[in-house]
């Protein structure tokens, strides 16, 4: 028996049961097939979603805004600087007001130690569903798009599938921990064997690692950790090479009190690991039918070579990005 998902917040995939997530996947597959058949799917006529972005976005912003249009509603594309948030208006007040004017609130706030708390505060006071469009801890929409893509390419029986989530070098910006943390929490719930590789100065958060181990026990998957990227690629059926910042190396309160020193140390640590790239040599260590996934944007030539990212026999990153649309529509249609 699936309880109604109407008005349910979407803050982490972990808050949703397997039965609820499976309902999202069934809905997403139906919406995808209607999208290709150009059949209308007006499930949210005249409804309004308020999107608030504290950071830049290509996939998330456009999948949610296009998704709302395709469901018959509208999404307001808001940034904190357009709102009284920039003058200090509290998340509680913002949430109460927007939830009286529309049918859902979605927010991206990735500031370390701040983002998830901000979105949770909105969820506490909103009378309509609140969705995380990524925060400092979780990226729930990315997690379900990733799993939908795995189902499409490797089938619905994911028990025993070998997936490697590996840190990789990038020189763009300190990316949040939220994508790999979402993946290591979600995949083992579906029986997947996850290997996590990272340099010792770039761990994921301790509490997430402990929760992922519990999820693996409950879901029949497994999780193991290594500081060796080559070892992590051996026999992998899916590899996900992605940079993340060294936030997990620090206690959150310590980081917030010593932010500039921590950032300097993270930058120095980063430069030690330029060899952490997904290239042909590493792909050869993996399963012969290995697939490459990446949430994007990719740091080409640093996280992964063009040769691998553009190899259509290996790379499924653009299917993964497209599935952000279908899964976002499913969550919005079910909750709003």
The residue ranges that bind ligand CP (CB under 6 A) are: 57-60, 134, 142, 295-296
**C-alpha span between 197 and 266 (Å, rounded):** 17
Q: At its nearest, how many Å lie between ligand CP and the CB of residue 265? A: 25
Q: At its nearest, how many Å lie between ligand CP and the CB of residue 57? A: 3
Q: At its nearest, how many Å lie between ligand CP and the CB of residue 74? A: 19
| Secondary structure (H, E, C), the chain | CCCCCCCCCECCHHHCCHHHHHHHHHHHHHHHHHHHHCCCCCCCCCCEEEEEECCCCCHHHHHHHHHHHHCCCEEEEEEHHHCHHHHCCCHHHHHHHHHHHCCEEEEEECCCCCHHHHHHHHHHHCCCCEEEEEECCCCHHHHHHHHHHHHHHHCCCCCCCEEEEEECCCCCCCCCCHHHHHHHHHHHHHCCEEEEECCCCCCCCHHHHHHHHHHHHHHCCEEEEECCHHHHHCCCCEEEEECCCHHHHCCHHHHHHCHHHHHHHHHHHHHHHCCCCECHHHHCCCCCCCEECCCCCCCECCCECHHHHCCCCCECHHHHHHHHHHHHHHHHHHHC
Q: Which is nearer to ligand CP, 30 or 57 (CB)?
A: 57
Q: Which is nearer to ligand CP, 57 or 269 (CB)?
A: 57
Q: Which is nearer to ligand CP, 58 or 86 (CB)?
A: 58
Q: At its nearest, how many Å lie between ligand CP and the CB of residue 249? A: 23
Q: At its nearest, how many Å lie between ligand CP and the CB of residue 61? A: 6
Q: Which is nearer to ligand CP, 61 or 99 (CB)?
A: 61
Q: Which is nearer to ligand CP, 90 or 296 (CB)?
A: 296
Q: At its nearest, how many Å lie between ligand CP and the CB of residue 296? A: 5
Of all residues in this chain, which one has the CB nearest to ligand CP in the complex?
Answer: 60
Longest distance between any two alpha carbons in the chain, whole Å = 55
Q: Which is nearer to ligand CP, 60 or 237 (CB)?
A: 60
Q: At its nearest, how many Å lie between ligand CP and the CB of residue 64? A: 9
Q: Which is nearer to ligand CP, 175 or 189 (CB)?
A: 175
């Amino acid at each position: 028996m699936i309880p109604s998902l109407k008005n349910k917040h979407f803050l982490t995939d972990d808050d949703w049961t397997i039965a609820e997530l499976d309902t999202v996947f069934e809905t997403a597959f139906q919406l995808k097939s209607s999208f290709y058949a150009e059949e209308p799917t007006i499930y949210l006529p005249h409804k309004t979603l308020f999107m608030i972005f504290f950071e830049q976005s290509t996939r998330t912003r456009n999948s949610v805004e296009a998704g709302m249009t395709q469901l018959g509603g509208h999404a307001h594309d808001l940034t904190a600087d357009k709102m009284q948030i920039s003058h200090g208006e509290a998340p509680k007040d913002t949430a109460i007001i927007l939830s009286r004017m529309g049918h859902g609130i979605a927010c991206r706030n990735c500031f370390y130690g701040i983002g998830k708390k901000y979105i949770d505060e909105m969820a506490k006071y909103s009378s309509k569903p609140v969705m995380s469009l990524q925060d400092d801890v979780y990226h729930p929409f990315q997690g379900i798009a990733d799993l939908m893509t795995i189902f499409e390419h490797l089938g619905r029986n994911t028990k025993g599938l070998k997936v490697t989530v590996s840190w990789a070098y990038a020189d763009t910006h300190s990316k949040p921990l939220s994508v790999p943390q979402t993946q290591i929490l979600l995949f083992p719930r579906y029986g997947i064997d996850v290997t996590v590789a990272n340099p010792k100065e770039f761990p994921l958060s301790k509490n997430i690692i402990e929760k992922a181990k519990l999820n693996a026990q409950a879901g029949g998957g497994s999780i193991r950790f290594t500081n060796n990227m080559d070892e992590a690629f051996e026999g992998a059926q899916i590899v996900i090479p992605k940079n993340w910042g060294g936030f997990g190396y620090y206690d959150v309160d310590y980081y917030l009190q010593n932010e500039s020193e921590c950032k300097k140390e993270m930058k120095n640590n980063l430069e030690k690991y330029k060899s952490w790239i997904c290239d042909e040599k590493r792909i050869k260590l993996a399963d012969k039918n290995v697939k490459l996934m990446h949430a994007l944007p990719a740091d080409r030539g640093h996280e992964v070579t063009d040769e691998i990212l553009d190899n259509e026999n290996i790379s499924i990153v653009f299917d993964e990005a497209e599935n952000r649309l279908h899964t976002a529509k499913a969550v919005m249609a079910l909750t709003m």
